Amino acid sequence: MVNRKRIMFVFGTRPEAIKMAPVIKEVEKYPDVLEPIVVVTGQHRQMLDQVLRIFDLDPDYDLGIMEENQTIANIVSKSLQGLEEIILREKPEMLLVQGDTSTAFAAALAAFYYRIPLGHVEAGLRTFDKWRPYPEEMNRKMISDLADLHFAPTRTSLKNLLEEKVPKEKIYLTGNTVIDALLTVSKRNFSLEKAGIKLAKGKKMILVTAHRRESFGQPLRDICTAIKRLAEKYRREIEFVIPVHRNPIVSRVINELLENVDNVELIEPLDYEAFVHLMKASYLILTDSGGVQEEAPSLGKPVLVLREKTERPDAVEVGAVKLVGLTEQVIFEETERLLTDRSAYAAMSKAVNPYGDGQASERIVGALLHYFGAKDQRPEDFNVKITG
Ligand code: UD1
Ligand code: UDP
């Protein structure tokens, strides 16, 4: 028997909350051994709160750092400052961060400054390009340098960590917790119509999300122009639905270029449950999101990735996701192909799960229990089964 170990979760944005929620729920199953302390920086205010509601999470601390048009330096300095006091008061035995946001990096640094063991959920993703995605590629590399336990979602990420000389025994191959979240939510009964989302009858719906910093400016304008041309050419056949990210640098451009196009619906960011069911109702997804690239293949939805590089090559390799870049004409042609070429569409719309099997959180908590001596065995590795 061990003393109760205090696990501090720190996150701040929508995707971190979605991917951390299943781990918090799993920790709550071991009240005699583990005690969760949930800290949010509030890097995202509304989009984070939407996730907290869906997963019924009530943070113990909320730093409320978000500002309009915040800079990366704002996020890091305010998070670091706020976390200092909380860590000193709570003295956790382990701090967990997820992914590659600036909240995650600041929390990893805070853990290091106070010599708190650090666990990294979704470790080892790499594009090997310092600027793509920016600042996430460097955030995750720096977090890897600081982490004591690395929860690698896939064999690819495990291999990246081994190549960086991370000791094998500190890495756990777990699958991605986003699939745990997805499976929990996608099996709930849900009516898009009751949620106020009305889709055009008899049209194929193309779902779009875009928010990456490296696409600000012309690349985002090119994405919008490609969408406008497609919407006009296939006026009778398709409808675009775009839940517009709250970053004003993104929403300004999307609103300016697409507001007046009839078959393009610009909507507010959706809560996770509604968004998952909207993915299920889509014909095709265009996105630069990390999480959506992982979820859509599980739902059998083809994804065209609006980026030059991806740190998530696994679904690309099995043919469910295609990297199309940020050139207007290429985005137009690749989308058109999936609208007009049945076999190209069929080849991409197979349901595959390279990123997880719904048990990643169990493995992560199994690893924590092993680390603290409450379990003899390491958890079994996630074993990718690609079925199509
Ligand atoms: C952040 C992360 C990015 C992650 C993305 C997920 C960093 C530097 N970036 O980017 O890695 O992929 O979240 O969406 O960590 N805003 C609101 N309400 C919200 C959320 C955002 O108003 O709920 C607005 C604010 O004006 C804020 C701006 O969006 O200043 C930008 O938010 P920020 O977190 O800095 O950047 P993201 O592009 O969201
Ligand atoms: N998502 C959501 N509502 C939306 C759009 C996306 O809940 O309107 C979810 C999506 O299912 C995925 C996550 O948000 O799990 C991705 O977040 P985002 O694209 O903001 O960040 P990234 O994954 O690129 O870091």
Ligand 1 close to Cβ of residue 218 (< 6 A):
no
Does any ligand 2 atom lie closer than 6 A to the CB of residue 209? Answer: yes
**Cβ partners under 8 Å of residue 145, min gap 6:** none
Burial of 149 (0-12, 13-18, 19+ CB in 10 A): buried
Model confidence at 9: pLDDT above 80: yes
Kindly state whether residues 214 and 339 are assigned to the same domain.
yes
12 lines ligand 2 (CB under 6 A): no
Domain membership flag for residue 266: yes
pLDDT above 80 (res 386): no
What is the residue with the minimal CA distance to atom 24 of ligand 1?
247
Residue 388: the pLDDT is 52
151/168 same-domain check: yes
Tokens 């951390």 belong to 20
Q: How far is the CA of 273 from the centre of ligand 2 (A)?
A: 11
Q: Could you tell me where the DSSP H helices lie in 46-71? A: 46-54
Write the pLDDT tens digit of every residue in 160-192: 999 999 999 999 999 999 999 999 999 999 999
The verdict on residue 388 lying in a domain is no
Mean pLDDT across 266-281: 98
Same domain, 72 and 156: yes
- Which ligand lies nearest the alpha carbon of 100? 1
> What is the model's pLDDT at position 182?
98
In a domain, 330, yes or no: yes
Ligand 1 pocket, residue 329 CB under 6 Å:
no
Comparison of pLDDT for 252 and 350, the residue scoring more = 252
Mean pLDDT of 70-82: 98
Is 328 within the bounds of a domain? yes
Name the E strands within 57-174. 61-62, 94-98, 118-121, 149-152, 171-173
Residue to probe by mutation, ligand 1, list 101, 141, 292, most atoms within 8 Å of CB: 101
Same domain, 161 and 243: no
- The number of distinct structural domains making up the chain is 2
Catalytic residues: 100, 122, 136, 211, 213, 245
- What's the pLDDT score for residue 2? 54
Q: Is residue 228 in some structural domain?
A: yes
User: Which are the contacts of 289, defined by CB distance < 8 A and separation ≥ 6?
Assistant: 15, 209, 210, 211
Provide mean pLDDT across the span 362-381. Answer: 97
Tokens of 305: 């990735």
Q: 149 and 245, same structural domain?
A: no
Ligand 1 atom with minimal separation from the 50 CA: 23
User: What integer best gives the mean pLDDT of the chain?
Assistant: 97
Q: In this predicted model, what pLDDT tens digit does every residue of 197-255 receive, in sequence order?
A: 999 999 999 999 999 999 999 999 999 999 999 999 999 999 999 999 999 999 999 99
pLDDT of residue 351: 81
pLDDT digits (tens, 9 = 90+) for 40-65: 999 999 999 999 999 999 999 999 99
Mean pLDDT of 287-316: 97
Confirm or reject: Cβ of 122 under 6 Å from ligand 2: no
Residue 245 shares a structural domain with residue 313: yes
Which ligand has its closest atom nearest to the C-alpha of 46? 1
| CATH classification at residue 73 | 3.40.50.2000
Q: Report, as an integer, the average pLDDT of 84-113.
A: 98
Per-residue confidence (pLDDT) for residue 281, from 0 to 100: 98
Q: Is 287 in the pocket of ligand 1 (CB under 6 A)?
A: no
Structural domain boundaries enclosing 119: 5-176+357-371
Does residue 145 sit in the same domain as residue 237? no
